[in-house]
Amino acid sequence: MNSSFRFSDTAIDSRALQAGLNHPTAGGFVAFEGWVRNHNEGRPVLRLEYEAFTDLAIVEGQKIVDEALQKFSIADAACVHRVGLLEIGDMAVWIGVAAAHRGAAFDACRFIIDEVKQRVPIWKKEHYVGGDSGWINCEAPLLSRQPSEYSDG
Amino acid sequence: MISTLKSPDPAPSSSNTASTVSLHLQYFAVFREQAGKSDETIDTRANTPTLLYAELQRRYGFKLIGAQLKVAVNNTFCDWHQLLKSGDRVTFIPPVAGG
């Protein structure tokens, strides 16, 4: 069983990853690929950079995959996320799930990508036409909130 | 801005009124760019993540507020009120954007 979350600084080999999840009990396989697109919130994007707090990200990513194995009736799952500079059309993240039945495979795959996007310490910097760039979600402070007691965890 | 920050608990073994902790800080993404470095070791009287982040905001002009962040100590997500001790590795985590 793979049940793994890892990073790659080179192109993701989805075929090899799929082969690694081949399981005799699995009647269905679902994969999600996140691709770099050429626009975000109305701005044309030239390329992306991903950066990760690797030590913590691997622990948290592995927790998510383990949670998926607990919550859903699946045989195996894996997630690989890129770091570094990516061009339009590159694969940024790959998630694969093998299960006896397709319902659980779809549900677990959705769960993993949704949780990775929320919890894993990975950051994305977009580079725009015109030369400027920005870290997604990080540029503007929340003006409506006062720095009082910060939320835990 | 100078403020007198009341320490949440006195350092148990210290009779030194200016006790500091030596912390290893890691910076990522927007913090790395604004601090101009990926990591550093500092001596500080700020002995919780809350106090420490306030100090770093003053030092580096970080614009994100604490409510937007998470904090990890020794590579584990933790509470903003956790007492920090010398040798701890502290990382403030800007809003994530993986996937």
Residues A89-135 pLDDT 10s: 999 999 999 999 999 999 999 999 999 999 999 999 999 988 899 99
Question: Are A93 and B99 a contacting pair at CB < 8 A?
Answer: yes
Per-residue pLDDT of chain B (99 residues; tens, 9 = 90+): 655 565 555 555 444 456 999 999 999 999 999 999 999 999 999 999 999 999 999 999 999 999 999 999 999 999 999 999 999 999 999 999 999
- B67 closest CB neighbour out of A52, A60, A150: A150
Instruction: Spell out which residues of chain A touch residue B3, defining contact as CB-CB under 8 Å.
Output: none
Q: Say yes or no: A112 contacts chain B, CB-CB below 8 A.
A: no
pLDDT of residue A139: 79
pLDDT of residue A153: 41
pLDDT of residue B5: 62
Is the Cβ–Cβ distance between B26 and B89 less than 8 Å? yes
Name all contacts of B49-56 with Cβ < 8 Å and 24+ positions apart: B49/A150, B49/B73, B49/B78, B49/B79, B49/B80, B49/B81, B49/B82, B49/B84, B49/B90, B49/B92, B50/A150, B50/B80, B50/B81, B51/B5, B52/B23, B52/B84, B52/B90, B53/A150, B53/B92, B54/A147, B54/B5, B56/B25, B56/B92
- What is the chain B residue with the closest CA to A61? B98
Question: Are B63 and A141 a contacting pair at CB < 8 A?
Answer: yes
ipTM of the complex: 0.86
Question: Are B30 and A138 a contacting pair at CB < 8 A?
Answer: yes
